[in-house]
Structure 1
């Protein structure tokens, strides 16, 4: 998969640094835009490129958060904090999608988008999609512990011990193939990894994949989500590293949320792309139509399920 051509792209200034953005759209795509928020922290927009397929209906806006991708890096990593990234998202939205907008977040983009909604209370948000994410970092860590217990015992121990041991690489390979994405890594993910931001990851998430001791470590929004009135689609995966119970908790904590669990891991837009994009198209169009059934999926696919596996 080659990188999708952006209709327009550029940079904007935020707190003295430059943030890269790209906009994918077609002449017939006149519906309200979809603004995407990538995760990582520090895994740039490339990992969300399958969403550019929606350009025939609506503009799809991407950006690389400070510290990764084509955006600037901080000379001092202590610059990275939650408020900076919330304010950056607010600036991106105000500059690139100031009117009615749909918001999308994947993985660690979920906490960032939720904090933006909770702290800024933005107007004209038509819908929110929270994909393969979580309502608290403690819950994320507990889910990881459960997933590690599903691995070969030696591999689980190697990942818990950290990246210094010889067994860590093979163990991480098993974890990725089972809970992130099976098979060969798609080219957009290779690009995303090559331009990811290690310093922002360490500062915001933690010292290693399974050690959440960074700036997000104490984050828990569960008790605050009931105040968010926007229509929300929560997408989980049966084999996701963000275990399905996290998606269920997230959806049950939001007043206008629907939960769909896919037969997939952490990257369903690569693994079951047609079903995923169909689901997202249906949800976005439904919120715009004002239909009373807007939250009810009509897609029939073996890749979709509404129950939540243990």
Structure 2
């Protein structure tokens, strides 16, 4: 029987009267001698739930899941909707460091797994030697090294959609009518091809992420945009490419053959991180940990124990 513990880490944010609360879940024994794996969810705002298949690894190592502030079981701040200065990458790096201090992990070897936006955050954190000196291994799953290379991949995939779907996307974006059911249906066509290939649609994990976006779109809307195909938020010009050479930990890259994180988005990680391995899973999209669950876990386990 694997131990499961939930808790709250208080996180003081400059400019806020009250500390925020970062909710976390520990699966396994954090006091064991095995290096723990810290899991950083995507979105921003998708919350930890969709990454729970990673508990398949809990028989051999402890895992730490958490919901970033603004999301899930952590403090929500809807009054900060649209505040691009507040919702910064630096804010979430500080939250991650605060969680490590709270859990007593700053002086201890750790592994980090970041998916999508979580991979972006993990890469920036790992490229800061003052914060990440205890990082043993890094996994970047279905992520992007810059928004420019992400757009190249997304645009190419968009052009392969049926013509009527492309036209509906164009029409809605021109009018900025992102709540039109026709636009939502067109986005779903893209999601079924490039978010997850698991059927029936949507899988439990996909639905969990979509539910959190619907419950509180503050961080996703402010930082990314109204959908995966329309990037209007504060991350629109983001890049970590100049930082990547500072990542010293051995790094595993994973994406799916049908991933919205196309190879062009992942390539700079491979080009600039010193010690890196890259695996692309056939028959998988953005949620390769769902679409090809067994193979995904095998690669992660082999990398962490090899």
TM-score calculated relative to the size of structure 1: 0.85
Paired with 2:44 and 2:190, the residues of 1 have a C-alpha distance of 19
Q: 1:11 to 1:143 in 2, by over 3 A?
A: same
1:176 paired with 2:179, answer: no
Q: Which residue of 2 aligns with 1:93?
A: 100
Greater RCO, 1 or 2 (C-alpha within 8 Å, sep 6+): 2
Residue 90 of structure 1 and its aligned partner are, at CA, apart by 1.1
Q: Which residue of 1 aligns with 2:205?
A: 188
SS for the counterpart of 1:284 is helix
1:65 paired with 2:85, answer: no
Paired with 2:56 and 2:247, the residues of 1 have a C-alpha distance of 28
SS for the counterpart of 1:40 is coil
Q: 1:22 to 1:164 in 2, by over 3 A?
A: closer
Residue 159 of structure 1 and its aligned partner are, at CA, apart by 2.5
Output aligned runs, 1:72-91, within 5 Å.
Answer: 72-74=75-77, 75-77=79-81, 78=83, 79-91=86-98
Output aligned runs, 1:25-44, within 5 Å.
Answer: 25=28, 30-44=33-47
Deviates more, 1:204-213 or 1:104-113: 204-213
Paired with 1:285 and 1:199, the residues of 2 have a C-alpha distance of 38
TM-score calculated relative to the size of structure 2: 0.86
User: 4+ residue stretches of structure 1 with deviation over 4 A?
Assistant: 26-30
- List per-residue Cα deviations over 1:215-256 (Å, max 9, x = no partner): 211111112211211100011211001112222332122111
Output aligned runs, 1:71-220, within 5 Å.
Answer: 71-74=74-77, 75-77=79-81, 78=83, 79-96=86-103, 97-98=105-106, 99-119=108-128, 120-160=130-170, 161-162=172-173, 163-182=178-197, 183=199, 184-196=201-213, 197-220=216-239
SS for the counterpart of 2:21 is strand
1:237 paired with 2:244, answer: no
Paired with 1:246 and 1:260, the residues of 2 have a C-alpha distance of 14
Check the 8 A contact 1:237/1:261 in 2, yes or no: yes
